[in-house]
């Protein structure tokens, strides 16, 4: 008895001393109000091994922690037990879950749960969801910020380690889970979303893209083979930064700080080095779509004030773009080839760049000047699937926010190898396929064309890639060309830019045993807006909206189901660019996506179609995307496109184009009747055996198809048949 009293007496000064040490070392602060309630349940994110100790010492309540059994021999657990109760339970076991429920129901204590636990993988959410579903209580979230930068961090590969990071315990708004919902998976999903929001909030977006690159490369697992392309050239992080400084020094002499500079390069190491070389010297790369033709390129360059375009002579010859380069040069643009810089890169300049690469962060501070997170980082152009591409100015914060939003939702491992064959002039290929792996410290393989189906399938196998980005069109091509083992190493495939057909998902799941996770985005959103992911996925949806994105759905006259989606968030563009003018987003930062969406009761979005891609038939609005989906279900192996045109009798009529040689209106009608779809979805005309034009991103080139619409009706010898 006396011994126990002595322990209690000694604990107070020990607690005070530990509080003092941590308060001085980490400047710990507690923000927000949290009333002391009996049976209170606290849910916290897990960023370091000292997180439980921080809560035990700096929250006034006597806490009870639920942790994993394998932690029992850790020194910090023994220290934690001095100031709190610790229950070591494996909640993957049904008996442990039931035991915890009984204890939490019987004892009125303040409980702390860490659904992320002390692992780098995000898991166990359904187990905790089951416990919370049985208890039916509200939870108090606490976000621990700053500990991820300490020496005790569990995620050093994602966050810079600092000597004296400031740690803040944010008491967040109380979360009420619907007690009527008996599905523990739904509760687990809510926990996952809560924790992913916390994870995103802990990322620092108030820095430049090049700063974030340096941080990501510093923690790269495979420093020797950080980046590789089709030439089988491998670069370490240090070699990559060295090349950025060497090339950047040359580009600096020909351009001004903050100048928008054209970059016309494929998805190769040279293309990515060019991009980051401009970033290092505070220039703004504008990624040009070399497949869009002279007219579109001339328009976007004029609109954004581009006078100089950097490209590669080898690339121009390989891609047979000599005519395009001549046309751009004749139009007055200064075309510069990277190969021409080689003679100017002397030994002295190489040695200078080598010295810079030894202390890259210091060098960057000296050569870049002041770079703010809200400064434009790059210019991208909309796909042009609905008209002339528009220039989109994206800030450093826009790009970093979207990368970190994705990293907060997906359990990317430091062992993952990314494979990107999407073009870097496309926002999906640049942000998700290229920048995300570099910021996360992952190895990345780059390939210049998504159309080399057989080659890409073999390279995925050879490189043991685990993360793959593609569109539905390209995935169909890879599946046809691949051998049975080519995709054995893949963990996840993320698809966007166009709707992924159910047949594509099923084929990949059954043949290659890989799940495709569909997302949705827009260049204006850097680009990802919503995403299906391993812990939150629903068939026939484009997933849940990413952290920190506000959204609303407004009704549209004539469209009975769903509404137009508006979004606002840190990843949404600052402005469109037009000649001599910047057009910022109006309406208090809300961006009109122009898409009609439906949201289910869990928050998953489904895309009905573009507002511009609706036809008005007899006063009723019909989605052309739905017509295309019906055609895809009927003829799954081919591409289909629906357009509308004026009709004196009905206002508009729907025209369907199909690459399937046997496509017919009668077969379409039969399928519509069999599936009990409305008769109004039947197109007026069906053209079969049509070569449907596709953009480099994989999207259907509707403007090109519309320009030739009259030809299909007037010239029956155009290679297509009308039925």
Query: Using one digit for the tens of pLDDT, what is the confidence trace for 205-232?
Result: 999 999 999 888 776 655 667 889 998 8
Return the number of other C-beta atoms located less than 10 Å from residue 600's C-beta: 11
For residue 286, give the CATH number of its domain: 3.40.50.980
Classify residue 465: in a domain, yes or no: no
Calculate mean pLDDT across residues 512-540: 92
For residue 21, give the CATH number of its domain: 3.40.50
Structural domain count, the chain: 3
Classify residue 125: in a domain, yes or no: yes
Using pLDDT thresholds of 50, 70 and 90, give the confidence band for residue 615.
confident
Classify residue 655: in a domain, yes or no: yes
Query: Using one digit for the tens of pLDDT, what is the confidence trace for 132-152?
Result: 777 777 788 888 888 877 877
Calculate mean pLDDT across residues 668-677: 83
pLDDT at 713 over 70: no
Assess whether 234 and 176 both reside in one domain. Answer: no
DSSP codes, 613-662: GEEEETTEEEEHHHHHHHHHHHSTTS-EEEEEEEETTTEEEEEEEES-TT
Alpha carbon distance 379, 390 (integer Å): 10
Classify residue 490: in a domain, yes or no: no
**424: closest CA among 311, 313, 517, 303?**
311
Calculate mean pLDDT across residues 44-53: 83
Assess whether 100 and 190 both reside in one domain. Answer: yes
More confident position, 122 or 64: 64
Position 137 scores a pLDDT of 75
HSE on the CB side for 700, CA within 13 Å?
21
For the chain, the average pLDDT equals: 83
Position 120 scores a pLDDT of 43
DSSP codes, 554-565: E--TT--S-EEE
Alpha carbon distance 705, 236 (integer Å): 45
User: Per DSSP, what are the bridge partners of residue 530?
Assistant: 520, 545
Return the axis-axis angle of helices 453-463 and 472-481, rounded to nearest 10°.
80
Return the axis-axis angle of helices 293-304 and 322-330, rounded to nearest 10°.
40
pLDDT at 575 over 90: no
C-alpha distance from residue 544 to each of 428, 478, 519 (Å): 17, 27, 9
Position 33 scores a pLDDT of 67
Assess whether 240 and 300 both reside in one domain. Answer: yes
Calculate mean pLDDT across residues 616-627: 75
Which residue, of 321, 351, 371, is where some domain finishes? 371
pLDDT at 591 over 60: yes
Assess whether 94 and 193 both reside in one domain. Answer: yes
Position 337 scores a pLDDT of 92
Assess whether 708 and 668 both reside in one domain. Answer: yes
Taking only Cα atoms into account, the Rg of the chain, rounded to an integer number of angstroms, comes to: 28
pLDDT at 37 over 50: yes
- What is the side-by-side order of every strand in the sheet holding 721-722? 640-647, 651-658, 685-688, 721-722
The answer to whether 624 and 643 are in contact (CB under 8 A) is: yes
Classify residue 687: in a domain, yes or no: yes
pLDDT at 588 over 60: yes
Domain of 279, in residue numbers: 230-371
SS3 assignment, position 606 = strand
Classify residue 604: in a domain, yes or no: no
DSSP 8-state secondary structure symbol assigned to residue 444 = E
pLDDT at 271 over 80: yes
Using pLDDT thresholds of 50, 70 and 90, give the confidence band for residue 117.
low
Calculate mean pLDDT across residues 531-553: 92
pLDDT at 363 over 70: yes
- What is the side-by-side order of every strand in the sheet holding 139-145? 29-31, 168-171, 139-145, 41-44, 110-113, 63-67, 85-88
pLDDT at 648 over 90: no
Assess whether 134 and 256 both reside in one domain. Answer: no
Highest mean pLDDT among 98-107, 310-319, 674-683: 310-319
Largest CA distance in the chain: 103
Assess whether 92 and 53 both reside in one domain. Answer: yes
For residue 698, give the CATH number of its domain: 3.30.300.30
Position 717 scores a pLDDT of 43
Query: Using one digit for the tens of pLDDT, what is the confidence trace for 479-501?
Result: 988 888 899 999 999 998 888 88
User: Per DSSP, what are the bridge partners of residue 656?
Assistant: 642, 686
Alpha carbon distance 451, 422 (integer Å): 9
Which residue, of 327, 343, 371, is where some domain finishes? 371
Position 673 scores a pLDDT of 84
Query: Using one digit for the tens of pLDDT, what is the confidence trace for 409-434?
Result: 998 877 889 999 999 999 999 999 99
C-alpha distance from residue 503 to each of 285, 511, 570, 635, 667 (Å): 38, 12, 35, 10, 19
pLDDT at 718 over 50: no
The answer to whether 205 and 397 are in contact (CB under 8 A) is: yes
Position 142 scores a pLDDT of 84
Calculate mean pLDDT across residues 637-643: 84
Position 122 scores a pLDDT of 46
- What is the pTM assigned to this prediction? 0.82
Assess whether 52 and 179 both reside in one domain. Answer: yes
The answer to whether 600 and 538 are in contact (CB under 8 A) is: yes
Position 543 scores a pLDDT of 93
Position 74 scores a pLDDT of 78
Using pLDDT thresholds of 50, 70 and 90, give the confidence band for residue 187.
confident
Return the number of other C-beta atoms located less than 10 Å from residue 579's C-beta: 10
C-alpha distance from residue 149 to each of 152, 165, 202, 204, 237 (Å): 8, 6, 10, 11, 22
Helices (H) and strands (E) in the chain, counts: 24, 34
Calculate mean pLDDT across residues 79-90: 80
Assess whether 175 and 120 both reside in one domain. Answer: yes
Position 605 scores a pLDDT of 94
Which residue, of 336, 371, 406, is where some domain finishes? 371
Position 618 scores a pLDDT of 64
Extract the runs of DSSP E, i.e. beta strands, from 166-226.
168-171
How far, in whole angstroms, is CA 604 from its chain's centroid? 16
Assess whether 139 and 239 both reside in one domain. Answer: no
pLDDT at 635 over 80: yes
pLDDT at 300 over 80: yes
Assess whether 287 and 195 both reside in one domain. Answer: no
Assess whether 196 and 284 both reside in one domain. Answer: no
User: Per DSSP, what are the bridge partners of residue 595?
Assistant: 610
Classify residue 310: in a domain, yes or no: yes
Position 92 scores a pLDDT of 75
Calculate mean pLDDT across residues 41-45: 84
Classify residue 436: in a domain, yes or no: no
């Amino acid at each position: 008895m006396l011994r126990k009293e002595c322990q209690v007496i000694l604990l107070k000064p020990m607690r005070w001393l530990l509080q003092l040490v941590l308060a001085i070392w980490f400047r710990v602060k507690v923000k927000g109000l949290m009333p002391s309630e009996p049976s209170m349940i606290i849910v916290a994110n897990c960023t370091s091994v000292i997180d439980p100790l921080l809560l035990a010492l700096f929250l006034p309540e006597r806490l009870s922690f639920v942790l994993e059994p394998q932690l029992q021999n850790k020194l910090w657990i023994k220290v934690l037990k001095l100031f709190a109760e610790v229950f070591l339970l494996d909640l993957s076991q049904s008996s442990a879950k039931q035991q915890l429920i009984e204890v939490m129901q019987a004892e009125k204590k303040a409980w702390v749960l860490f659904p992320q636990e002390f692992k780098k993988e995000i898991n166990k959410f359904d187990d905790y969801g089951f416990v919370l579903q049985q208890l039916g209580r509200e939870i108090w979230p606490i976000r621990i910020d700053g500990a991820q930068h300490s020496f005790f961090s569990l995620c050093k590969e994602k966050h810079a380690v600092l000597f004296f990071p400031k740690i803040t315990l944010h008491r967040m708004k109380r979360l009420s889970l619907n007690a009527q919902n008996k599905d523990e998976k739904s509760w687990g999903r809510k926990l996952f979303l809560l924790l992913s929001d916390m994870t995103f909030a802990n990322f620092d977006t108030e820095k430049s893209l090049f700063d974030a690159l340096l941080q990501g490369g510093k923690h790269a697992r495979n420093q020797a083979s950080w980046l590789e392309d089709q030439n089988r050239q491998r670069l370490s992080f240090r070699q990559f930064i060295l090349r950025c400084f060497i090339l950047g020094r040359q580009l600096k002499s020909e351009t001004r700080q903050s100048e928008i500079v054209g970059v016309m390069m494929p998805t190769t190491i040279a293309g990515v080095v060019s991009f980051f070389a401009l970033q290092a010297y505070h220039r703004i790369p504008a990624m040009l779509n070399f497949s869009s033709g002279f007219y579109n390129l001339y328009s976007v360059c004029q609109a954004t004030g581009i006078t100089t375009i950097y490209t590669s002579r080898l690339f121009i010859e390989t891609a047979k773009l000599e005519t395009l380069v001549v046309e751009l040069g004749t139009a007055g643009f200064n075309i510069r080839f990277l190969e021409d810089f080689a003679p100017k890169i002397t030994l002295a300049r190489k040695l200078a760049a080598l010295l810079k690469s030894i202390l890259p962060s210091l060098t960057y501070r000296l050569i870049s000047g002041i770079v703010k997170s809200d400064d434009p980082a790059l210019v991208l152009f909309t796909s042009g699937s609905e008209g002339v591409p528009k220039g989109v100015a994206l800030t450093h914060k826009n790009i970093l926010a979207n990368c970190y939003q994705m990293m907060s939702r997906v359990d990317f491992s430091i062992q993952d190898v990314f494979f990107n064959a999407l073009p870097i002039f496309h926002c999906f290929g640049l942000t998700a396929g290229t920048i995300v792996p570099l910021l996360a410290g992952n190895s990345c393989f780059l390939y210049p064309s998504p159309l080399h189906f057989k080659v890409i399938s073999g390279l995925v196998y050879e490189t043991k890639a685990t993360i793959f980005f593609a569109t539905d069109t390209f995935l169909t091509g890879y599946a046809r060309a691949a051998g049975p083992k080519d995709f054995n190493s893949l963990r996840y495939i993320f698809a966007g830019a166009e709707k992924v057909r159910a047949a594509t998902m099923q084929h990949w799941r059954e043949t290659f045993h890989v799940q495709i996770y569909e997302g949705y985005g827009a260049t204006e959103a850097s680009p990802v807006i919503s995403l299906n992911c391993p812990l939150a996925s629903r068939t026939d949806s484009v997933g849940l909206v990413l952290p920190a994105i506000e959204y609303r759905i407004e009704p549209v006259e004539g469209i009975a189901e769903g509404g137009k989606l508006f979004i606002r968030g840190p990843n949404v563009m600052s402005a469109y660019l037009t000649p001599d003018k910047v057009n910022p987003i109006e309406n208090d930062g809300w961006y009109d996506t122009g898409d009609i969406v439906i949201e289910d009761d869990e928050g998953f979005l489904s895309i009905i179609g573009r507002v511009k891609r609706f036809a008005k038939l007899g006063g009723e609005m019909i989605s052309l995307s739905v017509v295309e989906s019906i055609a895809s279900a009927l003829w799954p192996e081919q591409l289909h496109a629906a357009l509308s045109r004026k009709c004196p009798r009905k206002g508009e009529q729907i025209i369907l184009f199909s690459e399937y040689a046997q496509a017919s209106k009668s077969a379409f009608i039969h399928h519509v009747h069999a599936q009990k779809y409305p008769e109004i979805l039947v197109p007026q005309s069906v053209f079969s055996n049509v070569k449907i034009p596709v953009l480099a991103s994989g999207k259907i080139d509707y403007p090109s198809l519309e320009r030739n619409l009259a030809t299909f009706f007037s010239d029956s010898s155009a290679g297509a048949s009308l039925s």
